[in-house]
Structure 1
């Protein structure tokens, strides 16, 4: 009976989204698991948090970097795990076998990711419950790829765009390392914020490029260490 219900919900989700779980979180506020167009997605009140459009956005960034390039990497860090869709892309589609560290401030969202998306079954993944800013300050490791995907519903914390955080994440890159930064642009103010971030890049040490308007409101920023 359970399997039949699973199939029916998935089929009906092509007609109308079917919510199967709602939960409050002190950090992320409202969290929902919904069947949409045949796939299970994690949403906050106003935006997609994992899978669905977000997975397509970050996959486009990874594709731009190059799957072959990623396969040669040793250690990737994801700042902002949520349901772990980008981690699933790395491990299931790209077949990345190196180390992945996921940093997530909200323990409740990780419980959901483990229950609905089997994140805890990924053997090369280590989850750290911590504030991304604090973790970036403390870590002694260097990384081949830093994925920044941090949102509070439709807003982004200001620290992500501060020069100190930008310099610190760049410092944590190995030679030829890459930063993939997912940003949301809903206003002219957001566009100016991104422009300033790019202007602060040290072009003698890093190349910077963007993939604008991915899924309408997202802009991906890619920094590569020369």
Structure 2
């Protein structure tokens, strides 16, 4: 494909749509791959896929292959789903929660997300879903952004406690955060201190991208 070839020289935008939730959604050929972006940040594939792959590798692919149910809060184009299914060869259930139906429509059209049979997509607010769910999960991936903004509820103790409650013993939380200023650094460090060390091990991974920091929580069995 000629656009794919030229994308190694210059990004080639092939789709653009206004969304009520995400403002502007764009699909672009960049460095030979399709990526999903909003106005100011990468949402799926590209650098974001590298970041979450790094987090999954830190948890351990062997451990992930033994899991029965993974919850993804924030689906966007589904790049982490593709990493789980195509690279790690994870075979079990994945539930993806996405608030923006426009995002899922684009993910299906350009990234074939609807062809992944083990994935169930729920259009819902992540906060509401986490309150309602009766399931427990082996891995909860939190990857929620509104362009460059992260909703405040993600860092509130009530939400952290609820996430930890729906996690199985020896389960993991992989939380992708955005750091744009010192206040965000302080926010992340406060977040880590609020996870009960008696029942959970928490670590922040060294950054591989300037503005993203991954936090991993492990529920000690």
Deviations 1:151-179 (A, max 9, x none): 00011000000000000000000110100
User: Is the aligned partner of 1:34 residue 2:25?
Assistant: no
1:45 aligns with 2:39: yes
TM-score, length-normalised on structure 1? 0.97
CA distance, structure 2, for counterparts of residue 212 and residue 105 of structure 1: 29
Aligned to 1:14: 8
Q: Distance in 1 between matches of 2:165 and 2:86?
A: 29
Pairing 1:62–2:56 present: yes
| Alignment of 1:196 onto 2:190 | yes
Q: Distance in 2 between matches of 1:48 and 1:58?
A: 13
Q: Note if contact 1:100-1:124 (Cα within 8 Å) is conserved in structure 2.
A: yes
Superposed, which structure 2 residues align to 1:1-226 within 5 Å?
7-226=1-220
SS of 1:180's partner is strand
Q: Which runs of 5+ in 1 are unaligned?
A: 1-6
After TM superposition, give the deviation of residue 216 of structure 1 in Å.
Answer: 1.1
Match of 2:187, SS?
helix
Q: CA deviation at 1:212?
A: 3.1
TM-score, length basis structure 2? 0.99
* Shift, 1:213, TM fit: 2.2
Give the Å deviation of 1:65. 0.4
What is the number of equivalent residue pairs in this alignment?
220
Q: CA RMSD in A?
A: 0.5
Rounded Cα–Cα distance in structure 1 between residues aligned with 2:124 and 2:44: 19
Q: What is the rounded CA distance, in whole Å, between the counterparts of 2:18 and 2:206 in structure 1?
A: 32
Deviation at 1:16, TM superposition (A): 0.3
- Separation of aligned partners in 1, 2:130 and 2:190: 21
Q: Is residue 144–residue 174 contact of structure 1 (8 Å, CA) maintained in 2? A: yes
